[in-house]
Amino acid sequence: MNRQIKIYLIEYVDIAKAKQAILQTYSQEHDGMRYSIDHADKGRPLLKREGERYGEISVSHTANMLAIAFSDMPIGIDLEKRDREIDKRVCDSIEHWTRYEAYGKWLGEGISRKLLKGQLPDKLLRTRIINGCYLSICSESDEPDSITIIDNKKIL
């Protein structure tokens, strides 16, 4: 199994156009087929190729930044501006919040009070700082170079 994770990051004005731009770029770099994003009952994004379920995907956005992660294994990401205020009664920092969000997405549950009271599996989580944002990634990949971030910086 390919344990690589590709995360595309883009600034946007129109989020729908930004999602389409990332899907088109992924298609051109991957196999040239048509990709789309659908949603499961609880809102979890599903990646489709030519209309059929394909691989794993996680989507996050904050302010004017969008991140979409593609992988062959379950993946969860969260992207938040570093200066975003957070209620300290909920979580101690915005960086910590992104880790909980990424973990909740990886589980397929999203964020909940129960999740916030639990212990995070630190071995599954990595956080990067990019473009003034925290980007937290949750996956089972333990390969050191398994994550590639493609930063487009193009506003659509």
Q: What is the pLDDT of residues 13-41, one digit of tens each?
A: 999 999 999 999 999 998 999 999 999 87
The tokens of 105 are what?
């997405």
Q: What are the residues whose beta carbons fall under 8 Å from the beta carbon of 16, sequence distance 6 or more? A: none
51 phi, psi to nearest 5 deg: 85, -10
pLDDT for the residue 1? 41
Q: Is the dihedral of CA 15, 20, 26, 29 positive or negative?
A: negative
Determine contact, residues 78/72, Cβ cutoff 8 Å.
no
102 or 108: whose pLDDT is higher? 102
pLDDT single digits (tens) 69-83: 999 999 999 999 999
Confidence of residue 2 (pLDDT cuts 50, 70, 90): low
